[in-house]
Structure 1
């Protein structure tokens, strides 16, 4: 049975999806429909996710006191704003969607750009998905184990179940995934408002005892501060998401920097207030001993309605996981289409018109990550990898100031800003390795540069024996999943 016969069999099984004929689909282009308000909402909605509910404990643990903890949260917001402004110059200078990939391609050529694509597929995106699902599992299981930590097996099984369900939802229907995202985004904002308002009310009542001598007991070191930044910056991750949709922004020269200047400070303000709210009801010791910080906060402030907090935090984290799965699945799909991964990953479901193989691959890699990993280790692993490429991208901005002087720059940030971001990126990447070397950093470097082997074999020398070996597997997957190459859906 050859591949063409497989395609005919699949086509004959269902010629339409949701009432739309796939044989008569027309060419479409990205439309400029994202304005200033929408851009701000994209930043706020993308950044606020699971991080603010899991990172406070790790940030405090690495600096040791309330004062430095709040400073770290504010400083992370400043760094995210400066990094986003650098990306604003890049996004208006190189007006292509895709974030770091086109910027690295323009500045350094195909190999660094490919390594970013590879690292995103194998390291950055799966570890991010795993962190969020593990966070969901911790908050969802915490109410069933009051006063003690839920068993690791329960957390990991629940996280794996969440990964499978989210993957299936996104593979079944784009519309269903969108509805799920909208519902959980609304739930996320509800719990953020509840915590902030509760904290303000408690402060107004005079609950300020935990802020006295707030710098007493600090344990500051370069390595500890770097790890605190890793956990804080994890909560801010997503500050560069508008650069992935530059082609869809209305008046990007105005709206991109304004969205950044407004959106990220709003997130910073919310994060600092949420941490202040935590410290109004918990001492540093109590926060560090808490199994789930927001759950402890809810138990002390909202009783007997404290069940609202873990429920809505679980909603928030599952929403963040759903959004991550949706966008990252498309990254795998594009990588398959461009020849950076197996072609079968670029196939589309005939019935559902979703990149089902890419989503399944992404879900499977994520499940592998949750087996040996815990949240804090994965956050360090993720942050180490992502800030390596953020630093490289900002370096590209500096390099292109000298090598690409002819490129139009509607937004031109002062050169000191990318220099500061680059130096901080170098510190964030190197300090934990030097002060607290751990094997996950070595694994991360090996995984990233292992991509060079695939680049040399399959892209530079264009060896196609892997495609020949995988052809029988591809045909069986086509029949099982009812998927075809994207050109066959037109």
Structure 2
């Protein structure tokens, strides 16, 4: 097998053992390219279409005050997602490694910024989001089946079981995870098209609710627009996740870009038409009173068949969970391969070619958050870092224009795109803070800075208890794991 260099690089030897037998002149052990254009679009659309479109439209409408302005902001959200996606496409065409934002910060800004991103994302933001997704799934399922009165313990057990099942799928095979993602995305998009068609039928029958009011009552205060865009941005979240699996995409220079553009266009169209359908059947008052606007729409339009929508929400949530494990877990994997995170997380299965330790650690932390049950508040004060890191990534693009001038594989976008995207990120960060300063924002900043306390002894000076080496050795032997190498494509 290959030994891991303490500096973070990989060195290979010509022999090793697998299942007790010596293997000579092995090919480099690396991730397999199992994600094509269709599954790439499915990852993009499936990651974006999560719980947001089912629950946030009324919040956007409340903050904008009018039907017309709310629809415009849903269009703006699609433009922001597209600009962000194109910005990341150029970045990944230069970086050409798995790891998403981490790989960008590591190459452009250095080891410490890269580590602080992984520290924030993997210890708090991503696993806590996964915990919220699991409890959302469990709540809908337990309420749908009326399981034992749906106590919180039952919901947590259901959520944990769903998360472990998705974990097994992604540990078993990247190809299986991609196929599952295609199925889940197809079902959730079909459910949204059912809403769209229902709305068009209602409009054809003369049911237009408050659509004719247009821009009456519009609220144009910057703070309200920012809050509305944050809700829209939450619904569009996940547009950059395909960049995490660069090394697993077939013909990535073509398929990542096409998946990004086609997936974002598909989602933007579906979101705008879905909101039109909501507004065709529900008045503003009905939407404001609804906790889940899609369910309220279903009860009014579908009657006894309204149970279809809770099923769609469950499938949508499962799809987001599956997509997250199939993409975001490549961040800590890439960091560990660079010697910038815990060594064992750069191991992959010698049989399955999946980053099993990284996936399992991600799920383990998510289960801890799920058991504690204090996830929502944590997400509340960490969510703005999504826009902080995205804005920082757009700055990295400008830096790389000068740092990597002669990159023949660069997918170059007009410089105005990352500049506009950066300004939108700044607006979404600053406007809510100016309007409503919260102590949680300070806590979030302190959490990120606290990563330096971990980085200095563990990764700068590489202080590591000897017993951890033995634990890693036994994990590697039991689960048949080996460090991965990177071969530039």
Q: Give the TM-score category using the shorter length.
A: 0.7 to 0.9
How far apart, CA to CA, are the structure 2 residues paired with 1:442 and 1:107? 26
- Any idea what SS the aligned residue of 1:306 has? helix
How far apart, CA to CA, are the structure 2 residues paired with 1:30 and 1:359? 14
2:482 maps to which of 457, 471, 486: 486
Give yes or no for contact 2:394–2:422 (8 Å, CA) kept in 1: yes
Give the paired residue count.
Answer: 466
Relative to structure 1, the CA distance from residue 333 to residue 218 in structure 2 (aligned partners, 3 Å threshold; closer, same or farther) is same
Relative to structure 1, the CA distance from residue 267 to residue 415 in structure 2 (aligned partners, 3 Å threshold; closer, same or farther) is same
Q: Deviations over 1:360-411 (max 9, x none)?
A: 4322322344445465x56654541111111111001122334443444643
How far apart, CA to CA, are the structure 1 residues paired with 2:262 and 2:458? 44
Q: CA deviation at 1:195?
A: 1.3
Q: What is the match of residue 63 of structure 1?
A: 64
Q: What is the match of residue 320 of structure 2?
A: 320
Q: What is the match of residue 50 of structure 2?
A: 49
TM-score when normalising by structure 1: 0.81
Q: What is the match of residue 424 of structure 1?
A: 424
The reply to whether residue 291 of structure 1 matches residue 287 of structure 2 is: no
Give yes or no for contact 2:209–2:282 (8 Å, CA) kept in 1: no
How far apart, CA to CA, are the structure 2 residues paired with 1:129 and 1:49? 11
How far apart, CA to CA, are the structure 2 residues paired with 1:409 and 1:348? 28
How far apart, CA to CA, are the structure 1 residues paired with 2:255 and 2:359? 32
Q: Which stretch of the first structure deviates more once superposed, 76-85 or 272-281?
A: 272-281
Q: What is the match of residue 119 of structure 2?
A: 118
How far apart, CA to CA, are the structure 2 residues paired with 1:293 and 1:400? 43
Relative to structure 1, the CA distance from residue 30 to residue 482 in structure 2 (aligned partners, 3 Å threshold; closer, same or farther) is closer
How far apart, CA to CA, are the structure 1 residues paired with 2:341 and 2:123? 11
How far apart, CA to CA, are the structure 2 residues paired with 1:89 and 1:344? 30
Q: What is the match of residue 73 of structure 2?
A: 72
- Any idea what SS the aligned residue of 1:437 has? coil
2:466 maps to which of 431, 453, 468: 468
Q: What is the match of residue 5 of structure 1?
A: none
Q: CA deviation at 1:286?
A: 1.8
- Any idea what SS the aligned residue of 1:49 has? coil
How far apart, CA to CA, are the structure 1 residues paired with 2:150 and 2:221? 32
Give yes or no for contact 2:349–2:482 (8 Å, CA) kept in 1: no
How far apart, CA to CA, are the structure 1 residues paired with 2:355 and 2:104? 26
How far apart, CA to CA, are the structure 1 residues paired with 2:393 and 2:178? 31
Q: CA deviation at 1:431?
A: 2.1
Q: Which stretch of the first structure deviates more once superposed, 329-338 or 201-210?
A: 329-338
The reply to whether residue 448 of structure 1 matches residue 442 of structure 2 is: no
Give yes or no for contact 1:102–1:113 (8 Å, CA) kept in 2: yes
TM-score when normalising by structure 2: 0.81
Relative to structure 1, the CA distance from residue 356 to residue 98 in structure 2 (aligned partners, 3 Å threshold; closer, same or farther) is closer
Matches within 5 A, 1:59-138: 59-138=60-139
Q: Deviations over 1:51-86 (max 9, x none)?
A: 222322333343343333222211110011111111
Relative to structure 1, the CA distance from residue 23 to residue 273 in structure 2 (aligned partners, 3 Å threshold; closer, same or farther) is farther
The reply to whether residue 213 of structure 1 matches residue 216 of structure 2 is: no
How far apart, CA to CA, are the structure 2 residues paired with 1:85 and 1:347? 31
Give yes or no for contact 2:30–2:353 (8 Å, CA) kept in 1: no
Q: Which stretch of the first structure deviates more once superposed, 119-128 or 190-199?
A: 119-128
User: What is the RMSD of the two structures over their aligned residues, measured on CA atoms?
Assistant: 3.8
Give yes or no for contact 1:115–1:452 (8 Å, CA) kept in 2: yes
- Any idea what SS the aligned residue of 1:209 has? coil
How far apart, CA to CA, are the structure 2 residues paired with 1:368 and 1:313? 24
Q: CA deviation at 1:330?
A: 4.2
Give yes or no for contact 2:244–2:328 (8 Å, CA) kept in 1: no
Relative to structure 1, the CA distance from residue 478 to residue 324 in structure 2 (aligned partners, 3 Å threshold; closer, same or farther) is same
Relative to structure 1, the CA distance from residue 406 to residue 15 in structure 2 (aligned partners, 3 Å threshold; closer, same or farther) is closer
How far apart, CA to CA, are the structure 2 residues paired with 1:171 and 1:400? 34
How far apart, CA to CA, are the structure 2 residues paired with 1:310 and 1:422? 37
Give yes or no for contact 1:133–1:159 (8 Å, CA) kept in 2: yes
Give yes or no for contact 2:382–2:441 (8 Å, CA) kept in 1: no
Q: CA deviation at 1:140?
A: 3.0
How far apart, CA to CA, are the structure 2 residues paired with 1:143 and 1:196? 24
How far apart, CA to CA, are the structure 2 residues paired with 1:175 and 1:34? 7
How far apart, CA to CA, are the structure 2 residues paired with 1:452 and 1:483? 32
Q: Deviations over 1:212-268 (max 9, x none)?
A: 324344444333322322221222222223433445556655554444333312210
Give yes or no for contact 2:42–2:185 (8 Å, CA) kept in 1: no
Give yes or no for contact 2:45–2:185 (8 Å, CA) kept in 1: no
How far apart, CA to CA, are the structure 1 residues paired with 2:138 and 2:252? 39
Q: CA deviation at 1:320?
A: 1.5
Q: What is the match of residue 278 of structure 1?
A: 278
